[in-house]
Structure 1
Amino acid sequence: MSDPQSIKEAAAELMPEVIERLETLVRIPSVAFPGFDPEPVHAMGAAVVELFEAAGATGVRLLDVPDGYPCVYADLPGPEGSPTVLLYAHYDVQPAPKSQGWTSEPFEPVTKDDGRIYGRGAADDKSGLVIHYGTLKLLGPDRPCRVKILVEGEEETISHLEAFVEANPDLFAADAYVIGDIGPQRVGRPGLTTALRGDVACTVTVRTLANPVHSGMFGGAAPDAMTAMIRILDTLHDENGDTVIPGVDSGTWAGADMDEEVYRDGSSILPGVEFLGSGSLSDRIWMKPSVTVLGMDLPNTAEASNVLLPEVTAKLSMRIVPGSDGDAQLDALMAHLRSQRPWNCEVEVAKVKVGQPFAVDEGHPAIIAANDALTAAYGAPVESIGSGASIPLVASLKKVAPDGAIVLWGAEDTAQSRIHASDESVDPGEIERMIAAQTLFIQEVGSQRD
């Protein structure tokens, strides 16, 4: 089986089994966040081992990751001298609290009238797992190249996999890495992600008083830490909403345009609310920095009293553009925050993390093969798109194999998947097309022997 039509037909025939597998996985509440029951996460790891064994993979096993949940790993031989393709996904999911507003039980998959399968993890990233499953089923035992499998169990939280990968380069070396944890703009429109913004984070603490004091007796002269914090945070954006920090890089997007209708649908912007920033929509979400205040330590409205706050801490995340250096960008953000001292308040800034950005080498033979495979599977031209998300593992994989290609694709369409939010869902047609595309891709890479 080598022609696209045969592969597409085989993928279609496999779909009832693939959907059944996906529904079984969605029922496992594999939330790896601290404080959640670890048992479902371990159960999910075991289920992924069984999944790939059922697909015909041999030697599938759990590897202990220091300080974290185990990863699923396999190394499947191919013809002598053939390239190696590593298939990546993750088996943990985001929490699904009722406060998000789910209209169905998040861990009971349901197919609704629009044909999509709803449930936490249905898209992110259990769709990636069953795409890999279907791909191995279609390839069969006579794989055209060596295939490795890597599935982690804590991508959604504080991952320990990057250090593990870098400490064991021989296990994870490959000629091409398929990151099955992303997707196109809209169902039926093939998209290959060619750039990822990085993600750097820090905390900023503002102190103005030794202790809380009565706002009536002392307000008006004694500075409140929250008021000072507001003044500092306001300096991060200009009147257009662009992030403006000295030393922080910005760029221009050269690929496909971000579809405004897709963006409005996916972002759930309220009617009449304007976009932030200036320039094209693609520039703003893929090639410009973006600062977000993720949280703040201060009283909630139910506990608020008539006092001036002596201290406030905020956690900030900044998405940074492909091609920039994450450490330098975080340094610039932290230096800016330290320089803002309204009323000579005390300002303390601390590093949280650095996630490097990434840009794909679109001239790499494996990337060209990925484009060809998507075109054949979808019967439509491929859009080169970016992503505001970051996948820190990519930087570690590039350390292990600097010449390896990174293929970023999947079934998580921007318009409707609602990953991390209520009513997460996936379109089965996207899974089917991606199984065909991935199979075609591996066959093409397998033909690129030395």
Structure 2
Amino acid sequence: MDLASTVDGLMDGLTADLVRLAEIPSIAFPGYPKDQVERAHDLLVELLRDAGVEHIERLELPDTSPVIYAEVPPPTPDAPTVLLYGHYDVQPPGDESLWHSPPFEPTPVEGGLRARGIADDKSNVIAHLGVLRAYDGRPPTGLKIVLEGQEEYGSAFDDYPPTDPDRFACDAMVIADMGNLRPGTPTLTTGLRGVCEVVVEVRTLAEARHSGEYGGAAPDALLALLQALASLHDAKGDVAVAGLRREEWTGASYTEEEFRELATVQDGVPLIGTGSLGERLWSGPAVTVIGLDAPDVDGAASAVVPYARAKLNLRAHPLQDPDEATAALVRHLREHRPFGIELTVTPSDAGPGFEPATGGPAYRAARAALREGWGTEAESAASGGSIPLVNGLAKAVPGAEVLLFGAQDSMCGLHAPNERVLFSELRGAVIAEAAFLREYARSFAAAREAK
């Protein structure tokens, strides 16, 4: 089979179905209509059946949108089984005035389509369907297809796989909630940073007091908090918290020009930190102040601030124990005591990072498949984001190789206004995933014959 020609013949239909799916505002956050998530669920069940999938289940868990679970039996008893993952829920659109077109009206852009969730992760869900269609519903491996309905908000499904390991048993997994470093550069994600959030509070006075009468001796809660926050980084912008793991990054990364554009860094503003971008973004820690409670500038009174609070987001090395990383940050803050003032530091639950093994037959097959999909050698990169379910799946099936790739790219604007997907990346992902199943099945057969 000429996969490229086969997929080219499928692209119009896949694009039409992507539009149908992206038109549905399947937001699984509280306060949004649940019936829209159900609409997306029902459409995907219909598309899976049309693609030849007979075994489809609906998994119901507490306070969790339905998970689609489907199976395609292996063509022979000794063929491998591959789990394909994606999610059909999306982020809220945010401020719709920042969108160039309505977020749930898929709109043509140069080389692709714009809509909320069209890249993250509906393009990858459609890529799975494309693979089924390319093989007329009879792929060269067995398949277990998992399409989650509440990934963006988080749900009980994150911790479910280890409680039902037989359901998820497989030889390899394709976690299609990722994409390429840049369009046209096939990329395997080989690391996900861990994450936690910490709230820091300072209370120094029973109530605000006149800054002229009391300022200079009365302990200012906001000044104390700012001192504590400033201690988290050194003069060059590197994280200065003892006990957080940082290593050299040896994979691919952005150029500084690409990163400045992606991060929308203003002209003349330097990047912070030292070392390679990969080290700063993926194999080292990051501490970000994501929220600050303090008096408004416009309504500020001339008073010593009695109370201040900040919320911090910590991203840790993929292999560092998340509780260990959280403890290091909490310890740093509690020991700092700016002006001798004690801080109240409250951590949230920590999410682990992930770093898959990359030397097995599935990885070798994936590299060949990605080259076939995009016509050039695959790169290895990492992500500062996290996918909690990956760890749950890895615990459920510890012997399975985990592959992270897909139709997104780092410039697609996921979670931002004007998210888009490129047809070239969708096409490449379908070809690559289909080629991976073929190559992986062949490697299994060759290993069997060699015994």
State the alpha-carbon separation in 2 of the partners of residues 228 and 269 from structure 1: 29
Give matches, 1:353-392, under 5 Å. Answer: 353-392=349-388
Q: Does 1:258 align with 2:254?
A: yes
Matched position secondary structure for 2:408: coil
* Contact 2:63/2:155, CA 8 A, preserved across alignment: no
Q: Does 1:80 align with 2:77?
A: yes
How many percent of aligned residue pairs carry the same amino acid?
40
State the alpha-carbon separation in 1 of the partners of residues 214 and 203 from structure 2: 16
User: What's the CA shift string for 1:227-282, capped at 9, x where partnerless?
Assistant: 21111111111111111101111001112243333322322211111111101122
Q: Which amino acid in 1 is paired with 2:319?
A: G
Give matches, 1:243-392, under 5 Å. Answer: 243-392=239-388
Q: Which amino acid in 2 is paired with 1:341?
A: R
Q: C-alpha root-mean-square deviation of aligned residues, in Å?
A: 1.7
1:422 is aligned to: 417
Which is further off, 272-281 or 348-357?
A: 348-357
Give matches, 1:116-131, under 5 Å. Answer: 116-131=112-127
State the alpha-carbon separation in 2 of the partners of residues 390 and 97 from structure 1: 21
Give matches, 1:144-155, under 5 Å. Answer: 144-155=140-151
Q: Does 1:21 align with 2:24?
A: no
Q: TM-score, normalised by structure 2?
A: 0.94
* Contact 1:197/1:319, CA 8 A, preserved across alignment: yes
Q: TM-score, normalised by structure 1?
A: 0.94
2:437 is aligned to: 442
Give matches, 1:195-210, under 5 Å. Answer: 195-210=191-206
The 1:229/1:196 distance shift into structure 2, 3 A limit, reads same
Matched position secondary structure for 1:60: strand
Q: Which amino acid in 2 is paired with 1:72?
A: I
* Contact 1:49/1:62, CA 8 A, preserved across alignment: no
Q: Which amino acid in 1 is paired with 2:241?
A: I
Which is further off, 298-307 or 178-187?
A: 298-307
Matched position secondary structure for 1:359: coil
Matched position secondary structure for 1:194: strand
* Contact 1:326/1:357, CA 8 A, preserved across alignment: yes
> Of residues 40, 49, 55 in structure 1, which corresponds to 2:45?
49
Q: Does 1:224 align with 2:220?
A: yes
State the alpha-carbon separation in 2 of the partners of residues 179 and 70 from structure 1: 18
1:108 is aligned to: 105
Q: Does 1:432 align with 2:427?
A: yes
Matched position secondary structure for 2:395: helix
Which is further off, 24-33 or 41-50?
A: 41-50
Matched position secondary structure for 1:394: helix
Q: Which amino acid in 1 is paired with 2:123?
A: S
> Of residues 97, 101, 110 in structure 1, which corresponds to 2:94?
97
Matched position secondary structure for 2:240: coil
State the alpha-carbon separation in 2 of the partners of residues 188 and 384 from structure 1: 14
User: What's the CA shift string for 1:286-340, capped at 9, x where partnerless?
Assistant: 2111111111233444554444332222221111112221111111111111112
State the alpha-carbon separation in 2 of the partners of residues 202 and 402 from structure 1: 31
1:158 is aligned to: 154
Q: Which amino acid in 1 is paired with 2:66?
A: P
* Contact 1:295/1:316, CA 8 A, preserved across alignment: yes
Give the deviation of 1:100 after TM superposition: 6.5
Matched position secondary structure for 1:354: coil
Q: Which amino acid in 2 is paired with 1:145?
A: T
> Aligned pair count?
444
